[in-house]
DNA sequence: TCGTGTTGATAGAACGATCTACTAACTAGC
DNA sequence: GCTAGTTAGTAGATCGTTCTATCAACACGA
């Protein structure tokens, strides 16, 4: 039925010109006369020709594909990031190969190599916690453009696009302190995750600035999920001197902390102040509406895509970093006496 | 710095064998002796060779890429769908090209053609509302495997994977009626969207079954969003004889309806019964927890991917349809007198 | 009339792999 | 010693494009 796909050769034969001529026309060269151009166009639509971009790419050593490696698409922050990357890539003539590493460094390593085999023009990577240095080393020696996104990676020879986690956490804790809180918990996130380390540092910084002593029982570590906050908040509520407010590692944690608070008879945003992190869409429609640090995943994504494509176009440009200063979005959940 | 990428030819020269031999070894043929195999392997790691899969694909007329066209990644239903498709594709040795049509039929058309040019092995499409028949016609004449997902398309020569919207809505309305409701609204969604049409049909079916007359003022049309439900519910609440319950087009609508109810001094799940549609993760953590029809986007996605890959492997297999029967997940929001 | 451009089109080698067909060197059977 | 079969490896065409070099035809100026 489908036989073979019709190629440039059939078009050439059918239109009575050479293969080269057809190729030139396809690429919109002006060096071909109008009559022949029309003859070829006629042949194209008559035979139902479709361009084989991979063949062209093989010849020209180019590619319109960029690879995107994220941990988990299901996290709304990464969803927004991905959506933005796809959109700006598409607008600039690129397609994106999407893969999820599942926070597994080995898998991430294999995926990155596999993408290179598939001939991507460049790669955007959100490094998995515990990423192997060899992964990036290999990409560097291969000379393929890479943009690190969201989570910093200790190698300043790569472009980077991400939020300023330190400052974001600092702002949030500042706001809590201004509302009169002195005992402020930091809930959720796992040690070794660079984003969390930065957020924690911002949290400490703000406490220090206001001469509030550091109490390590107020920092709860846990793998963040849609339910993890329930246990996290229970732990600090059980303390002899419980906190009156908390900064959460992300909005998932914050929303589940709200449920946890209610289980203890406390109304979030009334009996306990809460600020989340990320600014994912559902923070706005939670009850009560969640105050949070808006990291603007879409902007991060757009920047990452632009930076990568910029480097693809111009491989030797100087390394650049785009660090976005987040916005503190105060809604209801941070209000409490 | 990066010169040229090292090819199979360099490896052959360096190991003192022919190009064909290297190729055989790369593909794990047993027809090559162990000593030469090792010599070649040594050359490979010494020169830092990376396989060029596109070149191989050109020769073998094959591809490990599948294209996925969805409307909007940002909708959690599609997020879950995409995540599942990516995962099962990856497990079966495929990568996915992700693009968003933005519910624009023209764009969808261009994208599908572009993916073909890029040489995808097959395509999973969630048809945009108002899709052009030519889009699918073209794909069919090109003979490229296509699986329609989520939203049905009136051409039974394509494989299909999606939820049973009719039955889902029917179940939900049944439950509402069992809880004693007689005036039940249907909120949100736009005319012309086949998913909505099926849901609406299920809604009517259930009413009819219980001899409840149809009141068109209880059906509110609107483009669904994270806030659209606020206005939708206001409209039916303003009626002389307002409803006591509602089935919502999706969970977005349902969650915003909750906010709308509160604005009118009503407690969702207490003064008004509410059932959503989709079963997106945040339905579980909403307040009160949202009762909803769980469409299992992950299963739909996994099925779609399996079906497509099955057809890629075996293009002439009979057309198949996988229709998933949703689960009614009753939490809190449907409870009301 | 001759050299010099310009225009429109082409032939044939690439790109990096695979595939088909073939061969040289052994082994085995009788 | 001869034929047949197996094993290990290779040469060269090929996939569908683009690129480099070249060419024929014609116009132009001196």
pLDDT at position A3, please?
Answer: 55
Bridge-based pairing of strands B95-100 and B122-125 is unpaired
The DSSP output letter for B223 is: -
* Residue among A287, A297, A316, A331 with most chain B CBs within 10 A, to mutate: A287
Q: At what angle do helices B8-15 and B19-26 cross, to 10 degrees?
A: 110
DSSP 3-state of A213 = coil
Give the mean model confidence (pLDDT) for residues A181-197: 94
pLDDT at residue B192, rounded to an integer = 84
**pLDDT over 90 (residue A253):** yes
How many angstroms is C1' of C14 away from CA of A91? 32
Answer yes or no: is A24 CB < 7 A from strand C.
yes
Q: Using the predicted structure, report yes or no on whether residue A1 has a pLDDT greater than 90.
A: no
Cβ distance of A142 and B50 shorter than 8 Å: yes
pLDDT per residue as tens digits for the range B202-221: 999 999 999 999 999 999 99
Residue B337 lies in a domain: no
When pLDDT is averaged across residues B270-290 and rounded to a whole number, the result is 94
Secondary element (H or E) of residue B329 = strand B327-329
Interval A116-162: pLDDT, tens: 999 999 999 999 989 999 999 999 999 999 999 999 999 999 999 99
Query: In this structure, what token pair is assigned to residue A282?
Result: 């559902």
Question: Which of B10, B9, B330, B4 has its CA nearest to residue B171?
Answer: B330
Percent of chain B with pLDDT strictly greater than 70: 99
Average pLDDT over residues B182-196: 94
Q: What's residue A192's pLDDT?
A: 84
Residue B31 CA and nucleotide D5 C1' are separated, in Å, by 16
* Reported confidence tier of residue B2, pLDDT bands at 50, 70, 90: very low
- Do residues A258 and A301 share a domain? no
Q: Which of residues 26 to 55 on B have a Cβ less than 7 angstroms from any strand C atom?
A: 26-27, 51-52, 55
Any atom of strand C under 7 A from CB of A43? no
Chain B residues close to A97, C-beta within 8 Å: 65, 95-98
Taking the C-alpha atoms of residue B17 and residue B156, their distance in angstroms, rounded to an integer, is: 53
Concatenated DSSP letters for A97-161? EEEE-TT-HHHHHHHHHHHHHTT-SEEEE-PPTT--HHHHHHHHHHT--EEEESS--S-TTSEEE
How many CA atoms lie less than 13 Å away from A56 in the CB half-sphere? 16
Please give the pLDDT value at position B213: 93
For residues B36, B40, B45, B49, the Cα torsion angle rounded to the nearest 10 degrees is -160
Cα distances (Å, whole numbers) of residue A265 to A247, A275, B213: 20, 19, 44
Q: CA angle, B121 as apex, A89 and B26 as ends, to 5°? A: 100
Residue-wise pLDDT tens digits, A254-287: 999 999 999 999 999 999 999 999 999 999 989 8
Alpha-carbon distance of B238 to B186, in angstroms, equals: 15
Residue ranges in B154-250 assigned as alpha helix (H): 165-178, 194-209, 228-237
* Closest to B128 (Cα-Cα) out of B75, B168, B88: B75
Residue A246 lies in a domain: yes
Residue A331 lies in a domain: no
Distance between CA atoms of A108 and B185, rounded to whole angstroms? 48
State how far Cα B290 lies from the chain centre: 22
**How close B251 gets to chain A, by Cα (Å)?**
11
**Are residue B179 and residue B256 in the same domain, yes or no?**
yes
pLDDT at B256 over 50: yes
SS3 A322: strand
- Asked whether the predicted pLDDT for residue A337 surpasses 80, the reply is no
Nearest CA-CA distance, residue B214 and chain A, Å: 32
CA of A40 to C1' of D28 (A): 32
pLDDT, chain A, mean: 95
The answer to the question of residue A81 being in a domain is: yes
Closest by CA to A89, choosing from A324, A334, A336, A310, is A310
Q: How far is A208 from chain B (nearest CA, A)?
A: 34
CA distance B122 to B93: 13
- Tell me, yes or no, whether B203 and B279 share the same domain: yes
Q: What are phi and psi of A307, to 5 degrees?
A: -60, -45
A312 neighbourhood in chain B, CB within 8 Å? none
The Cα-based distances of A296 to A323, A327, B102 in angstroms read 11, 8, 20
Q: Based on the domain organization, do B41 and B135 belong to the same domain?
A: no
- The pair of structure tokens assigned to A126 is 């959100």
Beta carbons of A256 and B98 less than 8 Å apart: no
pLDDT at A2 over 70: no
pLDDT category at B3 given cuts 50, 70, 90 is low
Residue B5: pLDDT band by 50, 70, 90 thresholds? confident
For strand C, the positions having any atom within 7 A of a protein Cβ are: 7-21
CATH number for A241: 3.40.50.2300
Q: Point out the residue among B143, B255, B282 whose CB comes nearest to the CB of A2.
A: B143
Considering only residues 47-86 of chain A, list those whose CB is below 7 Å from strand C: 55, 58-59, 61
Write the DSSP assignment of B112-144 as a string of letters: HHHHHHTT-SEEEE-PPTT--HHHHHHHHHHT-
In a domain, A245, yes or no: yes
Strand duo A184-187 + A159-163: pairing: unpaired
The answer to whether the CB atoms of A119 and B54 lie below 8 A apart is yes
The span from the CA of A260 to the CA of A280, in Å, is: 20
Nearest CA in chain B to A82: B73
pLDDT digits (tens, 9 = 90+) for B47-79: 999 999 999 999 999 999 999 999 999 999 999
Among A332-336, B69-73, B221-225, which is the least confidently predicted range?
A: A332-336
Whether A290 is covered by a domain: the verdict is yes
Model confidence over A4-33: pLDDT tens digits? 689 999 999 999 999 999 999 999 988 899
Interface test with B, best of A51, A83, A257 (most B CBs within 10 A): A83
Are the Cβ atoms of B100 and A86 closer than 8 angstroms?
yes
Q: Is residue B257 part of a domain?
A: yes
Element (H, E) at A68: strand A65-70
Q: Please give the C-alpha separations between residue B2 and each of A139, A141, A265, B6, in angstroms, as whole numbers.
A: 11, 8, 63, 10
Indicate if CB(A116) is under 7 A from strand C. Answer: no
| List of residues 6+ apart from B46 with CB closer than 8 A | B14
Determine the pLDDT at residue B200. Answer: 97
Shortest distance, CA B279 to any CA of chain A (angstroms): 14
Residues across chain B: 337
Spell out the alpha helix ranges (H) of B16-75: 19-26, 34-47, 53-60
Q: How far apart are CA A83 and CA B102, in angstroms?
A: 11
Task: Indicate the pTM of the whole model.
Answer: 0.94
Which residues are paired to A258 by β-bridges? none
pLDDT of residue B1: 35
Instruction: Verify that B191 and B285 share a domain, yes or no.
Output: yes
Q: B271 and B217, same structural domain?
A: yes
Gap between the Cα atoms of A181 and A273, Å rounded: 9
- Quick one: B309 and B289 in the same domain? no
Residue B93 backbone phi and psi in degrees, to 5: 85, 20
How far are the Cα atoms of A87, A123, A262 from residue A94, in angstroms, in the given order? 9, 12, 47
Q: Give the position of tokens 């945003």.
A: A269
Q: b/e for B193-211, b at 16 or more Cβ within 10 A?
A: bbbbebbbebbbbbbeeee
Q: Do A114 and A257 reside in the same domain of the chain?
A: no
Is residue B256 in a domain? yes
Residue A124 tokens read as 């955007």
Helices then strands, each counted (H, E), chain B: 12, 12
Cβ contact B113–A80 (<8 Å): no
Residue of B83, B281, B282 lying closest to A73 (CB–CB): B83
Nearest to B285 among A54, A96, A255 (CB): A255
- For chain A, what percent of residues have pLDDT higher than 70? 99
Across A32-45, average pLDDT = 95
Domain with A14 in it: what CATH number? 1.10.260.40
Residue B268 shares a structural domain with residue B231: yes
Average pLDDT over residues A203-225: 96
Rounded distance in angstroms from the CA atom of residue B21 to the C1' atom of nucleotide C20 = 14
Tell me, rounded to whole angstroms, the distance of Cα A83 from its chain centroid: 9
Residues B187 and B206 in one domain: yes
Portion of chain A with pLDDT greater than 90, in percent? 94
The CB density around residue B234, as the number of other CB atoms within 10 Å, is 15
Nearest CA in chain B to A143: B2
Nucleotides on chain D that have an atom closer than 7 A to a protein CB are 7-21
Confidence of residue B109 (pLDDT cuts 50, 70, 90): very high
B94 and B24 inside one domain = no
The closest CB to that of B282, out of A119, A142, A282, belongs to A282
> A281–B96: do the CB atoms touch at under 8 Å?
no
Distance in angstroms: CA B191, C1' C27: 78
Element (H, E) at B159: strand B159-163
Per the structure, the complete domain to which residue B33 belongs is given by 8-51
Task: Yes or no: say if B260 and B232 are a contact pair by the CB < 8 Å rule.
Answer: yes
Mean pLDDT of A173-183: 97
Q: How far is A100 from chain B (nearest CA, A)?
A: 8
Q: Which residues of chain A does B250 touch, with a Cβ-Cβ cutoff of 8 Å?
A: none
In total, how many domains does chain B have? 3
Q: Do B53 and A119 touch (CB under 8 A)?
A: yes
Do B92 and B23 share a structural domain? no
């Amino acid at each position: 039925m489908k036989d073979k796909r019709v190629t440039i050769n059939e078009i050439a034969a059918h239109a009575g010109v050479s293969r080269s001529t057809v190729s030139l026309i396809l690429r919109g060269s002006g060096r071909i006369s109008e009559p022949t151009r029309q003859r070829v166009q006629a042949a194209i639509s008559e035979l139902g020709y479709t361009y084989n971009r991979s063949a062209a790419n093989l010849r020209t050593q180019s590619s319109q594909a960029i690879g995107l490696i994220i941990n988990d698409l299901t996290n709304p922050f990464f969803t927004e990031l991905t959506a933005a990357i796809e959109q700006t890539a598409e607008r600039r003539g690129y397609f994106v190969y999407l893969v999820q590493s599942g926070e597994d460094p080995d898998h991430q390593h294999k995926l990155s190599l596999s993408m290179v085999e598939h001939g991507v023009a460049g790669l955007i990577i959100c490094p998995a916690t515990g990423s192997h240095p060899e992964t990036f080393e290999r990409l560097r020696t291969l000379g393929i453009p890479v943009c690190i996104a969201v989570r910093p990676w200790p190698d300043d020879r790569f472009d980077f696009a991400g939020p300023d986690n330190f400052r974001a956490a600092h702002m949030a804790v500042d706001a809590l302190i201004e509302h009169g809180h002195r005992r402020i918990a930091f809930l959720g996130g796992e040690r070794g995750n660079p984003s969390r380390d930065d957020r924690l540092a911002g949290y400490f910084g703000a406490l220090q600035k206001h001469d509030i002593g550091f109490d390590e029982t107020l920092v709860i570590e846990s793998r963040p999920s849609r339910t993890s906050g329930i246990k996290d908040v229970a732990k600090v509520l059980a303390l002899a001197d419980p906190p009156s407010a908390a900064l959460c590692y992300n909005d998932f944690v914050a929303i589940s902390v709200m449920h946890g608070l209610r289980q203890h008879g406390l109304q979030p945003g009334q009996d306990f102040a809460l600020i989340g992190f990320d600014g994912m869409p559902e923070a706005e429609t939670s009850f009560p509406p969640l105050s949070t640090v808006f990291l603007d995943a879409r902007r991060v994504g757009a920047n990452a895509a632009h930076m990568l494509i910029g480097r693809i176009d111009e491989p030797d440009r100087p390394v650049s970093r785009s660090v976005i200063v987040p916005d503190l979005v105060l809604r209801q959940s941070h209000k409490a006496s």
